[in-house]
């Protein structure tokens, strides 16, 4: 057990960002990783041209890296936004336009997980109306993901850093997962369990793992405080990952931490060789 038995992947939207996007897969491979994940890389558009999509696919293929997770279009991320699917008007429209593009891309690279960030509450908008729109769009995304044999992920963030995001606890995210699965009957909506975010919310991580491992489709980690590499904070990440494995989780664990002031390639000293 412990770190040597985990299937780690690198999130290329927070690590190796000192490099251009198309150079990051090769950098991850050089650091010893065969699997990567990404936030939606084209912040300015939900529907990039074929040339951009093909270039990213080529970069992943040439590096020998497998994409294991991709965010749907989520607005300005990193930035003030936390998703688009519950935001009425243009952002919801962008999310819907992105569903087909993102789904086709992950199918083309053999990825089987799509993360749908819920979106912030909008001042002056009825939260119930936002939740209704969110369910509508998540059902659309779940059907698209099902069409390629993929999982739809729903993520809880943390309240201190995302004060306008409504899903800031594991139970809140699980409620949405259950609602989507009830609406579609497909069962392909799963929880994205991010130990950093949940710890920032003050949740009992062992209790969350026991309660929700069976509904978890992906796991992400960073240490707390600081969102740095394991060992830079006080979270017992190795033990928590063992607990997840004991509870039946066999998927990848995404490294979604900040490398600090050093190059990303130098931030993996905590990993066994």
Would you say residue 183 has pLDDT above 90?
yes
Answer whether 125's CB lies under 8 Å from 89's CB. no
CA distances from 56 to 38, 60, 182, 263 (A): 11, 6, 35, 22
127's enclosing H/E stretch is: helix 127-147
Catalytic residue at 256? yes
Would you say residue 189 has pLDDT above 90?
yes
Average pLDDT of the residues of the chain: 98
Catalytic residue at 18? no
Residue-level pLDDT at 87: 98
Residue-level pLDDT at 136: 98
Would you say residue 104 has pLDDT above 80?
yes
* Residue ranges in 148-249 assigned as alpha helix (H): 170-184, 195-200, 205-212, 237-246
Would you say residue 233 has pLDDT above 80?
yes
Exactly one of 37, 91, 155, 243 is catalytic; name it: 155
Q: Mean pLDDT across the stretch 98-122? A: 98
* pLDDT tens digit sequence for 242-271: 999 999 999 999 999 999 999 999 999 999
Would you say residue 216 has pLDDT above 80?
yes
Count other Cβ atoms within 10 Å, centred on residue 187.
13
Give dist(CA 227, CA 15) in Å, integer.
Answer: 12
% pLDDT > 90, the chain:
99
Residue-level pLDDT at 273: 74
Would you say residue 201 has pLDDT above 90?
yes
* pLDDT tens digit sequence for 21-46: 999 999 999 999 999 999 999 999 99
What DSSP line would sit under 25-90, residue for residue?
Answer: HHHHHHTT-SEEEES-S-TT-SS--HHHHHHHHHHHHHHTPEEEEEEPP-SSTTTT--BSTTSTTH
% pLDDT > 70, the chain:
100
Q: Mean pLDDT across the stretch 143-149? A: 98
Answer whether 153's CB lies under 8 Å from 218's CB. yes
Give dist(CA 109, CA 68) in Å, integer.
Answer: 9
Q: Mean pLDDT across the stretch 198-211? A: 98
Length of the chain: 273
């Amino acid at each position: 057990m412990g770190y040597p038995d985990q299937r780690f992947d690198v999130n290329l939207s927070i690590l190796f960002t000192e490099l251009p996007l198309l150079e990051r897969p090769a950098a991850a491979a050089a650091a010893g990783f065969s699997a990567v994940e990404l936030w939606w890389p084209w912040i300015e558009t939900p529907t990039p041209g074929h040339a951009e999509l093909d270039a990213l696919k080529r970069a992943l293929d040439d590096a020998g890296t497998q994409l294991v997770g991709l965010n749907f279009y989520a607005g300005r991320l990193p930035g003030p936004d936390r998703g688009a699917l519950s935001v009425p008007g243009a952002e919801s429209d962008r999310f819907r336009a992105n569903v087909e593009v993102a789904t086709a891309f992950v199918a083309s690279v053999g990825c089987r997980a799509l993360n749908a960030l819920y979106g912030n509450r909008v001042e002056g908008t009825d939260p119930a109306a936002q939740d209704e729109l969110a369910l509508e769009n998540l059902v659309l995304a779940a059907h698209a993901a099902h069409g390629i044999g993929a999982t739809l992920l729903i993520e809880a963030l943390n309240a201190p850093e995302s004060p306008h995001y409504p899903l800031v606890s594991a139970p809140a995210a699980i409620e949405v997962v259950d609602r989507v699965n009830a609406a579609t009957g497909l069962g392909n909506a799963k929880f994205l369990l991010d130990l950093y975010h949940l710890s920032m919310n003050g949740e009992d991580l062992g209790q969350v793992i026991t309660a929700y491992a069976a509904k978890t489709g992906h796991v992400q980690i960073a240490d707390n405080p600081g969102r740095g590499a394991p060992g830079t904070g006080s979270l017992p990440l190795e033990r928590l990952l063992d607990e997840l494995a004991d509870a039946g989780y066999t998927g990848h664990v995404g490294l979604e931490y900040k490398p600090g002031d050093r190059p990303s390639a130098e931030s993996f000293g905590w990993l066994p060789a």
